Structure 1
Amino acid sequence: MAAVTALKPIANARWWMGLWGLAVLVVWGGCLMPLPELPSVPANDKWQHFAAYFLLAASGVQLWRGRPALIRLALGLLLMGAAIEVAQGSFTAARQADPGDLLANALGVAVGIALSATPLGNVLLRLQPARD
């Protein structure tokens, strides 16, 4: 009997999952590092949050299938975003928690997860199908 998994049948699945995990760590690191002295662009920070969480969700959609797995992915990313905001407000001097960041994160996750209902939700599966 074959094991039932939410992981899509893609070639090099462990490698792709490791790459996704690395992306998660990059987001954590980027959000907790001191801010560089850059010119202020209105709402630039919100677009960065949207883009980061969109990319994490959209790439997760490439790896996992099925409603339960995608719900776990979305909830996990939303909890991660909330944890980062708490960490920014509690453990860094140069950063502060911002509810607007949570909204940008949530919108990025929602748009990324929505790709699962389109042909773009299986790009990796079409490019890297598992070989039996």
Structure 2
Amino acid sequence: MVADLVLLGMAATAVCVGCLVPNRWLPPLPNDKFLHFASFAVLAILALRVAEGRIEALSWLLGLLVAGWLIECLQGALVPDRRFCWRDIAANTAGIVFAAIATQLVVPIF
């Protein structure tokens, strides 16, 4: 459980850093929306591994949705060559929903 929490923290830090640095600092990205989808799917899977019970699992997933929205807002407000994008939020949400469904099929949590 502690290892899962540490891994979740490291993954969340990597996603935040990747999303909040200027584009010129990043290598060319082949498909930005897929990276958003995959990043938030991984975060959701890790969060669901940490969660104990249905309410906590739903809280983690809601927290990830809010974090994805907040990251987009911060990009538009703080990062010079980045902007707010609804499609990024949609990709984040799709990744979270996919992970929730996929983990439900493998190990029922709800």
TM-score (norm: length of structure 2) = 0.87
Partner of 1:21: 9
Residue type of the alignment partner of 2:10: L
Please state if 1:82 is matched with 2:69.
Answer: yes
Q: Deviations over 1:42-94 (max 9, x none)?
A: xx111000000000001222221322111101110000001100000000101
Contact kept, 8 Å, 1:20 with 1:59, in 2: the verdict is yes
Contact kept, 8 Å, 1:61 with 1:121, in 2: the verdict is no
Q: 1: CA distance between counterparts of 2:99 and 2:11?
A: 15
Residue type of the alignment partner of 2:104: A
Please state if 1:34 is matched with 2:22.
Answer: yes
Q: When the two structures are aligned, how many residues end up with a matched partner?
A: 107
Kindly, what percent of the aligned residue pairs are identical?
Answer: 30
Residue type of the alignment partner of 1:101: D
Contact kept, 8 Å, 1:115 with 1:121, in 2: the verdict is no
1:18 to partner: Cα distance: 1.3
Q: Secondary structure at the match of 1:118?
A: helix
Contact kept, 8 Å, 2:7 with 2:46, in 1: the verdict is no
1:106 paired residue among 79, 90, 93: 93
Q: How does 1:67-78 map to 2 (within 5 A)?
A: 67-78=54-65
Q: 2: CA distance between counterparts of 1:77 and 1:107?
A: 12
Q: 2: CA distance between counterparts of 1:85 and 1:25?
A: 15
From the CA coordinates, give the structure whose radius of gyration is larger.
Answer: 1
RMSD: 1.8
**Where do 5+ consecutive residues of structure 2 fail to align?**
none
